């Protein structure tokens, strides 16, 4: 690896999400979210873990900002819990919730850390789910009202407004596979949810700009799937990879950036839905200028065309455990288990995929400003007898992915920043507390924070802006 430099204004930061770190779910006037309901439903999360306490950031945020300052971070990507600031998802704001975020943002500013704020990182107010959640078009309008209210209340405390985090997960893990809240397994519902999420993004973007003017920076963070054919010489496998690109990526990139849905999406899902949820004029509402596109990247996928006699070829009829495939319309696509080393999530390690993704987006969307809003790895970290957490695998993972980012930068791709997932070990959704992504270790018994070796390594990178070869 050759040395890489990341000159200012490139921002190095860390990312978290409200439900994963805050705890205090019944405090300060917060209402329930779909993740409270889901995690409290037996069998939904590993070990029955919930976000009730999480990393107790709701009470420890001052110390956590102090930690970020010590690490020298230039940015922090956090999310606002909608049910904390507007319980029920409609109507008057909860002043105590708003003050919590206002104080947090002020403390970050005071520490010289630029806040990148996600408005929706999966914690829909439970009342809105009772009315259909993201399958209900009205949820998009409720979200835009909430976004407008946050823009008015928090205004220039926020550096970048990110409307949604990974709407693919909200729609397809939440409504098709059922492994995320609200835990539904209805492919048609997932497609409607995807559309209403993009509509929510468009309406919210407009609302934020109406409140704050054109200077407000707006983004969305997508988990785009870098997908490779099992056999690059096989036309059927190439077609399978292309279909994943359609259902995993262009289902959002299309309406958001091109102003249209890919025609193949219609073909692949015609048997599931008539798509009447797409109303005339929606695509104009959705396609708004975004100032920066957030890219969340962890690994790649390998796929092949399923043959008629292969096991499981009956399609996505369910996994026998109450969950189903998130890949609606792709019954003939088989995802291969990773080969080579994996992280504790069982995800492969392919930094090249990040380089390819950044350069492909740059090419396809005319040099659109990009920001790596999540990248990182889970490992089974322990605090050693020396009181430290030695996590050389994570350091290696981060080094190689930052090298990919640096390479893209050198090639002229407009990458504005990099946010490691995550600042702290936290509630990893259906995996509960079993997966540790933090560069800072959290002992959930004592809530003690211990910066891992990777945190020290990252702090040095942030200080020098040099990645050594
Ligand atoms: C992403 C999520 C984030 C975290 C990481 C590991 O899909 O946005 O909250 O769970 O994965």
Domains of the chain from N-terminus onward = 4-298+351-467 (3.20.20.80)
CA of 282 to the centre of ligand 1 (A): 28
Our answer to whether residue 129 is catalytic in this structure is no
CA of 169 to the centre of ligand 1 (A): 9
Contact 396, 411 (CB under 8 A): no
CA of 434 to the centre of ligand 1 (A): 14
Alpha-carbon gap, residue 106 to 101, rounded angstroms = 8
- Ligand 1, residue 165: give the atom nearest the CA: 8
- Ligand 1, residue 221: give the atom nearest the CA: 8
List pLDDT tens digits, range 283-323: 999 999 999 999 999 999 999 999 876 554 444 456 778 88
**pLDDT for residue 253:** 98
For ligand 1, atom 5, the nearest C-alpha belongs to: 421
Instruction: Return the best residue to mutate from 345, 421, 437, 438 for the ligand 1 pocket (most ligand atoms within 8 A of CB).
Output: 421
- Ligand 1, residue 435: give the atom nearest the CA: 6
- Ligand 1, residue 20: give the atom nearest the CA: 9
CA of 310 to the centre of ligand 1 (A): 32
CA of 74 to the centre of ligand 1 (A): 21
**pLDDT for residue 469:** 72
Q: Measuring CA to CA, which residue among 94, 108, 211, 221 is closest to residue 157?
A: 108
Indicate if the pLDDT at residue 60 is higher than 60: yes
**pLDDT for residue 246:** 98
Percent above pLDDT 70 for the chain:
98
Burial (CB count within 10 angstroms: exposed 0-12, middle 13-18, buried 19+), residue 25: buried
CA of 171 to the centre of ligand 1 (A): 14
Catalytic residue among 129, 159, 166, 243: 166
Alpha-carbon gap, residue 49 to 102, rounded angstroms = 29
**pLDDT for residue 310:** 57
**pLDDT for residue 373:** 99
Containing 4, the helix (H) or strand (E) segment is strand 4-5
Top pLDDT among 315 and 206 is at 206
Alpha-carbon gap, residue 203 to 218, rounded angstroms = 12
For ligand 1, atom 9, the nearest C-alpha belongs to: 17
Indicate if the pLDDT at residue 221 is higher than 50: yes
CA of 405 to the centre of ligand 1 (A): 19
**pLDDT for residue 309:** 62
Instruction: Return the best residue to mutate from 55, 119, 426, 428 for the ligand 1 pocket (most ligand atoms within 8 A of CB).
Output: 428
Using CA atoms, how far residue 10 sits from 5, 357, 395, 415, 420, in Å, is 10, 18, 20, 8, 14
- Ligand 1, residue 429: give the atom nearest the CA: 10
**pLDDT for residue 315:** 44
List pLDDT tens digits, range 93-129: 999 999 999 999 999 999 999 999 999 999 999 999 9
| pLDDT, mean over the chain | 97
Instruction: Return the best residue to mutate from 78, 170, 172, 374 for the ligand 1 pocket (most ligand atoms within 8 A of CB).
Output: 374
Our answer to whether residue 460 is catalytic in this structure is no
List pLDDT tens digits, range 11-44: 999 999 999 999 999 999 999 999 999 999 999 9
List pLDDT tens digits, range 327-354: 999 999 999 999 999 999 999 999 999 9
* pLDDT band per the 50, 70, 90 thresholds, residue 400: very high
Catalytic residue among 129, 159, 374, 428: 374
* pLDDT band per the 50, 70, 90 thresholds, residue 190: very high
**pLDDT for residue 311:** 54
The binding-site residues of ligand 1, defined as CB within 6 angstroms of any ligand atom, are 17, 20, 165-166, 169, 223, 296, 374, 421, 428-429, 437
Contact 84, 28 (CB under 8 A): yes
CA of 278 to the centre of ligand 1 (A): 28
Instruction: Return the best residue to mutate from 298, 377, 425, 429 for the ligand 1 pocket (most ligand atoms within 8 A of CB).
Output: 429
Alpha-carbon gap, residue 133 to 182, rounded angstroms = 8
Task: For residue 4, give every residue at least 6 positions away whose Cβ sits within 8 Å of its Cβ, in sequence order, or none.
Answer: 402, 403, 406, 407, 409, 410, 466, 467, 469
For residue 381, give both structure tokens. Answer: 């970290």
CA of 17 to the centre of ligand 1 (A): 9
Contact 273, 191 (CB under 8 A): yes
- Ligand 1, residue 223: give the atom nearest the CA: 7
Burial (CB count within 10 angstroms: exposed 0-12, middle 13-18, buried 19+), residue 440: buried
Alpha-carbon gap, residue 92 to 78, rounded angstroms = 23
């Amino acid at each position: 690896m050759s040395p890489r430099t990341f000159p200012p204004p490139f921002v190095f930061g860390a990312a978290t999400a409200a439900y994963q770190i805050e705890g205090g779910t019944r405090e300060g006037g917060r209402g329930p979210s779909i993740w409270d309901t889901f995690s409290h439903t037996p069998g939904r999360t590993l070990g029955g873990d919930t976000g009730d306490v999480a990393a107790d950031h709701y009470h420890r945020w001052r110390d956590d900002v102090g930690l970020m300052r010590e690490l020298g971070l230039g940015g922090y990507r956090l999310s606002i819990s909608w049910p904390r600031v507007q319980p029920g998802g409609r109507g008057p704001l909860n002043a105590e919730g708003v003050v919590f975020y206002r104080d947090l943002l002020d403390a970050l500013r005071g520490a010289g850390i630029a806040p990148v704020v996600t408005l929706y990182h999966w914690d829909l107010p439970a009342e809105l789910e009772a009315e259909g959640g993201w399958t209900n078009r009205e949820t998009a309008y409720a979200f835009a009202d909430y976004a407008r209210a946050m823009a008015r209340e928090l205004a220039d405390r926020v550096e970048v407004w990110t409307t949604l985090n990974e709407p693919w997960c909200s729609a397809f893990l939440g409504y098709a596979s059922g492994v995320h809240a609200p835990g539904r397994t209805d492919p048609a519902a997932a497609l409607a949810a995807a559309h209403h999420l993009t509509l929510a993004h468009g309406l919210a973007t407009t609302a934020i700009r109406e409140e704050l003017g054109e200077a407000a920076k707006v983004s969305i963070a997508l988990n785009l799937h870098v997908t490779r054919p099992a056999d690059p010489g096989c036309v059927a496998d190439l077609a399978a990879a292309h279909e994943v690109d359609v259902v995993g990526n262009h289902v959002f990139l299309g309406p958001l950036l091109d102003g249209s849905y890919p025609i193949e999406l219609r073909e692949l899902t015609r048997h599931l839905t008539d798509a009447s949820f797409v109303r005339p004029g929606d695509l104009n509402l959705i396609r708004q200028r975004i100032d920066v596109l957030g890219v969340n990247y962890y690994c790649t996928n390998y796929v092949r065309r399923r043959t008629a006699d292969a096991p499981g070829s009956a399609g996505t009829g369910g996994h026998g455990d109450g969950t189903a495939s998130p890949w609606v319309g792709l019954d003939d696509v088989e995802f291969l288990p990773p080969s080579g080393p994996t992280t504790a999530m069982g995800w492969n390690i392919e930094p090249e995929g990040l380089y390819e993704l950044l350069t492909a987006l740059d090419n396809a969307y005319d040099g659109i400003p990009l920001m790596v809003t999540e990248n990182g790895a889970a490992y089974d970290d322990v605090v050693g007898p020396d009181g430290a957490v030695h996590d050389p695998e994570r350091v290696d993972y981060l080094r190689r992915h930052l090298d990919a980012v640096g390479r893209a930068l050198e090639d002229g791709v407009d990458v504005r920043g990099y946010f490691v997932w995550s600042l702290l070990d936290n509630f990893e959704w259906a995996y509960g507390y079993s997966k540790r992504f933090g560069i800072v270790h959290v002992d959930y018994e004592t809530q003690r924070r211990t910066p891992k070796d990777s945190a020290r390594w990252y702090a040095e990178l942030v200080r020098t802006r040099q990645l050594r070869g």
